[in-house]
Amino acid sequence: MKKKQSSAHAHAVEQLLQVAALLRDSYVGDKEVQFDAAINKLREPDQVHETELQITMDDGTEKSFTAYRSQHDNARGPYKGGIRFHPNVSKDEVMALSTWMTWKSAVTGIPYGGSKGGIIVDPRDLSMAELQRLSRAYARFVAPFVGPWVDVPAPDVNTTGQIMAWMVDEYEQYQQETMGTFSENPLATFTGKPLELGGSQGREEATGLGGVYVLEILCKKMGWKKPNDVTIAIQGFGNVGYWFALHAAERGFKVVAVSDSKQVLYDATGLSPRDVLATKKRTGSLTEDSSQVISAEELLALDVDVLVPAALENAITLENASTINAKVVIEMANGPTTPEADIVLENKGILVVPDVLANAGGVTTSYFEWVQNLQGYYWSHAEVLSKLEPLMKQAMTDAWDMQELKQVSLRMATYLKAVKSVVDTLILRGRV
Ligand code: GLU
């Protein structure tokens, strides 16, 4: 079958069909028909909302931006997923990302389905005032079809707690204008909010930290005893890459390389993520020492134990997969490995911890935030982490056991559990 490399959604569907082929035998009799119907249903999102958002720019001109919200499946609970602001956002991309969110929620067992939204925009081109107007316009667009029991958005690439705060505020105004009151809890409608406005302790670091919990289980399984002997290269130094680097370094792992969109910093003796962030804040660059700079291609090819793509999709492709020398790839970005590259890595014996498992710490802590918002009762940082750690470690252990039991890749093992859980819920509900 010819694969369409350019379509992220085609990639997501192809993964689903591969999993379905392995799961199908366990559904017999009437269940077989229901299983096929469920898989068929899960190929497409339930609905994809699309609009043009008009805002007034600072110079008085009007500009319009294309925006989406894809709601994939809500059998296991309300749709859940982030909103990204990026020039490469497309309908195809949000459809794929919303599908992956459905699996991600099922991986740690949190009671959500999957959704994803986005705006085609480079937020660096906007002033703060324009960014606020655009965020508010987006909140107004989704207001009729989000809510704590319907769809709960959150940050994703280039969106922040501040943006969630503006969206909560706009959503409140929308409810007051249309109903004269709040029929839905506005705080529980968005997660990833600032602490001052109903956010949760630990949410900001949760995606990166969750990946480090996964790494800790991995070390046990691989027989890697001393963190200091484990070298790590990280592509991406945004929220996810930074917190992964920091928590890994704090546990003694040797982070030897980090990169952002402009530069790759390499130091064989190990980096201090905190110092690198301070340099980046001060100078705009990861380092001012050009002798420490290597190319993006060299980063991927480093002879390290763990390679962590923590930026965007399609970082590991057919073109560069054969150059990768790491023993393990931990996918902290969503969809960083193309299906063709995945096969190359598997043939090279490189273990891949899939995105829907590795980066599930973010949405899992979003769930904790939502629970706290619904209760109006807030937990300490330690309490949040004490709930996150066992969920992430159990998910990784389950995937590992399934991989051994079924003799499939870790990605396939993770998907087997997640897709089964969604299919079984669709059958229980009688939706298929
Ligand atoms: N955007 C994050 C992700 O892709 C978090 C989603 C959420 O918290 O709802 O997992």
* pLDDT value at residue 376: 96
Kindly report the length of the chain. 432
Residue 22 Cα to ligand 1 midpoint, Å, equals 28
Give me the amino acid identity at 103. Answer: W
| 119 DSSP β-pair partners | 67, 85
DSSP letters spanning 81-147: EEEEEETT--HHHHHHHHHHHHHHHHHHT-S--EEEEEEE--GGGS-HHHHHHHHHHHHHHHGGG-B
> What sign has the CA pseudo-torsion 164, 166, 167, 172?
positive
Phi, psi (degrees; rounded to nearest 5) at 47: -155, 150
**Contacts with 229 (C-beta within 8 Å, 6 or more apart), sequence order:** 254
Residue 198 region, left (φ>0) first, then alpha (ψ -120 to 50), else beta?
left
Task: Return the ligand 1 atom nearest residue 82 CA.
Answer: 1
Predicted local distance difference test score (pLDDT) of residue 312: 87
CA of 153 to the centre of ligand 1 (A): 8
Residues 6 or more apart from 239 whose CB is under 8 A from it?
204, 207, 208
Q: Which domains does the chain have, with CATH numbers?
A: 46-187 (3.40.50.10860), 205-358 (3.40.50.720)
DSSP state of 194: -
What is the helix, strand, coil percentage profile of the chain, to 5?
55, 15, 30
Task: Give the per-residue pLDDT at 325.
Answer: 97
Q: Which three-class secondary structure state does DSSP give residue 315? A: coil
Written in H, E and C, the secondary structure of 388-423 is HHHHHHHHHHHHHHHHHHHCCCHHHHHHHHHHHHHH
Q: Of 106, 147, 123, which is closest to residue 354 (Cα–Cα)? A: 106
Residue among 86, 200, 205, 207 whose CB has most ligand 1 atoms within 8 A, to mutate: 207
- Report the chain (432 residues): mean pLDDT per 10 consecutive residues: 65 94 94 97 98 98 98 98 97 97 98 98 98 98 97 96 98 92 90 98 96 98 96 96 98 98 96 98 95 96 98 93 98 93 96 97 98 98 98 98 95 97 98 95
The owner of tokens 């096969």 is 343
Strands (DSSP E) along 222-327, which ranges? 231-235, 254-259, 264-266, 293-294, 306-309
State which ligand 1 atom lies nearest to the alpha carbon of 155: 1
Q: Is 312 helix (H, G, I), strand (E, B) or coil?
A: coil
Tokens of 55: 């805002």
- In this prediction, residue 40 carries a pLDDT of 98
How far is 228 from 251, CA to CA, in rounded Å?
9
For ligand 1, atom 8, the nearest C-alpha belongs to 363
Give catalytic residues, as residue numbers.
116
Kindly give the distance from the C-alpha atom of residue 317 to the centroid of ligand 1, in angstroms, as a whole number. 24
Instruction: Find the 332 Cα to ligand 1 centroid distance in Å.
Output: 11
Q: Find where tokens 């922040």 sit.
A: 160
Which is the closest atom of ligand 1 to the Cα of 363?
Answer: 8
The answer to whether residues 146 and 171 touch, using CB atoms and an 8 Å cutoff, is yes
Pocket probe for ligand 1: among 101, 368, 372, the residue whose CB has the most ligand atoms within 8 Å is: 101
Atom of ligand 1 nearest to the CA of 81: 9
What's the pLDDT at 350?
Answer: 97
Phi, psi of 318 (to 5 degrees): -60, -35
Q: Among 327, 309, 349, 324, which residue's Cα sits nearest to residue 231?
A: 327
Q: How high is the pLDDT of residue 351?
A: 97
| Look-up of token digits 């969110």 | 101
User: Rounded to whole angstroms, how far apart are CA atoms 62 and 67?
Assistant: 16
Ligand 1 pocket: which of 100, 363, 372, 388 to mutate (most atoms within 8 A of CB): 363
What does the pLDDT read at residue 3?
43
| Ligand 1, CB cutoff 6 Å, lining residues | 80-82, 104, 154, 156, 191-192, 334, 359, 362-363, 366
pLDDT value at residue 313: 85
Q: How many CB atoms lie within 10 A of CB 320?
A: 15
Contact yes or no for 139/163 (Cβ under 8 A) = no
CA-nearest residue, atom 9 of ligand 1: 81
Q: Which of 103, 151, 156 to mutate to test the pocket of ligand 1 (most atoms within 8 A of CB)?
A: 156
Q: Which atom of ligand 1 is nearest to the CA of 366?
A: 8
Output the CA 156–ligand 1 centroid distance in Å. Answer: 6
Pairing state between β 306-309 and 231-235: parallel
pLDDT at 326: 98
